[in-house]
A and B are shown apart, each in its own frame.
Chain A
Amino acid sequence: MKWDEFFVTGDPMIYGADVSIVLTMVGILFYLTKYKKWKWLWDEWLTTVDHKKLGIMYIVSAVLMLFRGGVDALLMRTQLAVPEAKFLDSQHYNEIFTTHGTIMIIFMAMPFLIGLINVVVPLQIGARDVAYPYLNAVSFWTFFIGAMLFNISFVIGGSPSAGWTSYMPLASNELSPGPGQNYYLLGLQIAGIGTLLTGINFLVTILKMRAPGMTLFRMPMFTWSSLVTMVIIIFAFPILTVALALMTFDRLFGSHFFTLQGAGMDMLWANLFWLWGHPEVYIVILPAFGMFSEIISTFSRKTLFGYKAMIWSMLLIAGYSFLVWVHHFFTMGSGALVNSVFSITTMAIGIPTGVKIFNWLFTMYRGKIQFTTPMLWSLGFIVNFVIGGVTGVMLAMAAADYQYHNTYFLVSHFHYVLIAGTVFACFAGLIYWYPKMFGYKLNERIGKWVFWVFTIGFNVCFFPQYFLGLDGMPRRVYTYSEESGWGPLNMVSTIGGFMMGIAFLILVYNMYYSFRYAKRETTGDAWDGRTLEWSTPTAMPPFYNFAKIPEVTGLDHFWRQKQAGKVEKLKAEDIKPIHMPSNSGVPFIMASFFFVAGFGMVFDWMWMAIAGIIGVFATLFYRSFEYDDGYYVSVEEVIETEKISK
């Protein structure tokens, strides 16, 4: 292999990225060494098994990925702002939209939500930890390493360029040679392990570790949505694992599952991909629905309207999510009957979703609505998500979809659903639970600026794209002609894109500003909340969450207690020694071996791949002979911790 095939060369932007990566690395190493932070980093973060810290690391990684995916988006929008632009060439543009899509879905939206689930769900169900804390650390580190492996592709070896859907045979060796597509396969495969483990971990956590008295129908809505999401993950992710493995065999070992030669079936890839990919859409939207339920209820000072209907509609959506995947390729010529069936099942998803929208509206009805930033994001969600929803129903009408398919109409639709749903929820949830994670609120004034700039920018960016689609502009073209007449609306769209970028910067500034100046919380109940996570006496729950496990008597237990003036005070005699798991460096080391194995396979260096895999098995082997059952936190220490904070 030659150097110019290993490092990406010939583009000043890439050289700029090379330099900035090296400088950042040097800066971090310098900071850690100078301020003697290595031990702190290792003890507090790299080896932690605390679900709250893992959650924070998920969220930090997701925000970084939001930045990376956002820069990709702005590069694309810059190229498309005017007809015949020469800012990016075709190959470069293709790589950027591929990484944008993959990163935003797999390495931004999902980890952001899983991060919030990690922080909140154990607290909401009154548990001290997740079912398998060590496994939780393995989940995080495999996700993180998968993301890093995928990310370095743009400076080493070249990024994948076959789209985030990687349709075969385009993604085969013959048409997409080199490491780019391998990065996609291995990055997703390694991160997928983490996601599947998270699915199992939280399913067990929610089913087995609820506080006494919390029956299934007393669980907070966010916990419910997480539970349903985990079930979808457990059914959907193995499909992705298999599909990616088959394509990896095609590319590395000469098998013919999806190739042009040897009777490969390219349609099979599309089917497997969307059999996972469609449920994936609900993996990133259901937790968002759960969050909006919590936030709307909290800031309307009212119980959620139609709690049971909310749960049933969610279960229905989860079931449907596996029955609609063909709508991603109505144009594959499956015939009238198949298209009709999948048209109707797809439209049917609109029914439970509509029910949820009306239940949210009626949660506010006869409430006392407070316009805090999380609430603004939730209201913005309702208003914008409905546009994504109705255009989704339009796309579901197969006969009409033949005209929308692969156009900007579709691009606009899924951004309306994913941004107004998932991204709004990530922002709303982050701001809502920020005091739980860091002990202070984000500044509300700056937060409202973020909301308005982002929401207006979002509509300015994506609304014109419906019209571009109806005017015949296909997705994924890197440029277009003057005569097409698509210039003005694209310019508008680009302006909107940059507004969203500015809003992101204001959000980051808000984090800095609030870190410096925000008033510190003194109780754990920053928003006058309803669910158990707000019931810890300290602003930030200690590592064992609850000194005494609460006993739940109904839905919105904490709120009812507060209303009745019967919030229990913690007494010293109630405290017993608390069993907690020990920290471990093994998950981090195991994930590092995954990186070695993945990198080796990306470049087809089998010696390196095998070394990495041996490393992975060695860590597994080590773990299975490790007899560390954790330790007990003494009563004195608990009393000390709870007292200090009072």
Chain B
Amino acid sequence: MMRRLKPFFTFGLLMAVFMLSGCSDMIVLDPKGPVGAEQRDLIMYSIWFMLFILLVVYALTAFIVYKYRDRKNHKGYDPDNEGSHLLETIWWIIPIIIVIALSIPTVKSIYSLEGPPEESKDQKPLVIHATSVNWKWVFSYPEQDIETVNYLHIPEDRPVLFKLTSADSMASFWVPQLGGQKYAMAGMETELYLQADEQGTYEGRNSNFTGEGFTNHTFDVLAMSDAEFDKWASETKADAPELSKGQYDKLMLPGHVKQMTFSSTHLDWVDHAKNPEYALDARERLGYEEKLPHSKAGKEEKKKREEEMKKLEESESHGDSHAH
């Protein structure tokens, strides 16, 4: 019989080893800011709880299955035992207690994540508009009046308020090492506070499926000191080319571009949170039409689109504005 149960034990052991050795390597459990840290603490709290529940259920299962297996000299058979009010009451009450124990910290966290982190409450957050468009991220700094594509600079130890929206598909803005995600939707604006307490480069991405280019719908977040950030912002404002409406319209075509920088923002003429039709209108102005992906026309169109994006990158690079 022990042979039968062995896989279960081996599996449990394997899981414990995994948990204990692997945790610190996983980026969600290795946050670099207060938002991510709060979420990590909540996750670890729940993991210990859940491991305990698993242990109880597994021990009970192993015991019962072993003790009451059908064999010669089987003892304790009681076929008409239909239940026990005492036992059943116990396992109605215990899960209720567990749910309460999990609900309290969860609700606390949900509320606290709606605002800037506790530790930097007195600081004015840096506002960045993050706009998703298949398959690029456009970041506008209204205060600094600059705009970047597919990368971000943020100051450390200061809360950043992201105002999220999308020009087309529903995307999800996620920088796992700084904290959890939120959706970016056309015609709407959602808000997300994040903060970096350590300098460094963090990977961010869209994690909600948006079609063909979804896998590479990513961006970099560079956290730096306040002084460095201000220097970068003012240099960008001075050196980077202005964003023209024509260039921006081309950004609305589906496709990837490399990182780009501009000394003005698209917020001057369009806010996708208020005008969800802009991207489609821009595509129409440029004579673009989505074709069947597997047809000949679709493949040709995809090639054309890629060339268009390349040209767009070249037009911007004249400004020589890549600060990093």
User: What is A's interface to B at a CB cutoff of 8 Å?
Assistant: 2, 4-5, 8-11, 90-91, 94, 158, 161-163, 167-170, 174-178, 260-261, 263, 265-267, 270, 300-309, 329, 331-333, 335-336, 339-340, 343-344, 347-348, 350-351, 354-355, 357-359, 361-362, 364-371, 379, 382-383, 386-387, 390-391, 393-394, 397-403, 405-407, 452, 455-456, 459, 463, 467, 469-472, 474-480, 485
Contacts and interface: CB of A to CB of B under 8 A. Distances in A.
A339 B83 contact: no
Given A331-B172, A355-B92, A161 B293 contact: yes
A357 B38 CA distance: 32
Nearest to B281: A261
Interface in B28-66: 28-29, 36, 38-39, 42-43, 46-47, 50, 53-54, 57-58, 60-61, 64-65
A598 B81 CA distance: 54
Given A302-B81, A402-B39, A476 B211 contact: no
B212 A398 contact: no
B183 interface: yes
Contacts of B83: 305-309, 359, 362
A122 to B, nearest CB: 26
Interface residues of B, number: 104
B15 interface: yes
A368 B168 contact: no
A406 B205 CA distance: 11
B27 interface: yes
15 contacts: A176-B211, A260-B279, A306-B83, A309-B92, A329-B183, A331-B182, A355-B88, A362-B64, A362-B87, A379-B65, A382-B57, A403-B43, A405-B180, A406-B181, A480-B215
Contacts of B15: 463
B4 interface: yes
A171 B264 CA distance: 33
A4 B298 CA distance: 10
Interface stretch (B185-193, B219-227, B233-241): B185-193
Interface in B92-120: 92, 94-96, 98-99, 102-103, 106-107, 109-111, 113-114
A238 to B, nearest CB: 25
Q: Which of A9, A361, A459, A470 is most buried by chain B, counting CB atoms within 10 A of its CB?
A: A470
A175 B191 contact: no
Contacts of B215: 90, 477-480
Contacts of A8: 294
A29 B279 CA distance: 52
B324 interface: no
A309 B88 contact: yes
Contact of B95 (A350, A397, A405): A350
Interface of B: 4, 7-8, 11, 15, 18, 22-23, 25-29, 36, 38-39, 42-43, 46-47, 50, 53-54, 57-58, 60-61, 64-65, 68-70, 74, 76-84, 87-88, 91-92, 94-96, 98-99, 102-103, 106-107, 109-111, 113-114, 134, 164, 168-170, 172, 174, 176, 179-183, 185-188, 190-191, 203, 205, 207-215, 276-277, 279-280, 283, 290-297, 299
A344 B78 CA distance: 39
A261 B172 contact: no
Given A332-B183, A361-B61, A400 B46 contact: yes
B25 A5 contact: no
A5 B298 CA distance: 9
A167 B110 contact: no
A174 B280 contact: yes
Contacts of B214: 90, 94, 476-477
A463 B88 CA distance: 31
B68 A4 contact: no
Contacts of B91: 354-355, 358
Contacts of A358: 87, 91
B46 A393 contact: yes
A399 B110 contact: yes
A261 B280 contact: yes
A397 B42 contact: yes
Contact of A371 (B58, B69, B290, B295): B69
Nearest to B205: A474
A148 to B, nearest CB: 21
Nearest to B173: A331
Given A176-B211, A456-B7, 6 more contacts: A304-B82, A333-B183, A347-B106, A371-B4, A399-B113, A403-B181
A14 B228 CA distance: 54
A367 B186 contact: no
Contacts of B169: 167, 169-170, 175
Contacts of A459: 11
A85 to B, nearest CB: 12
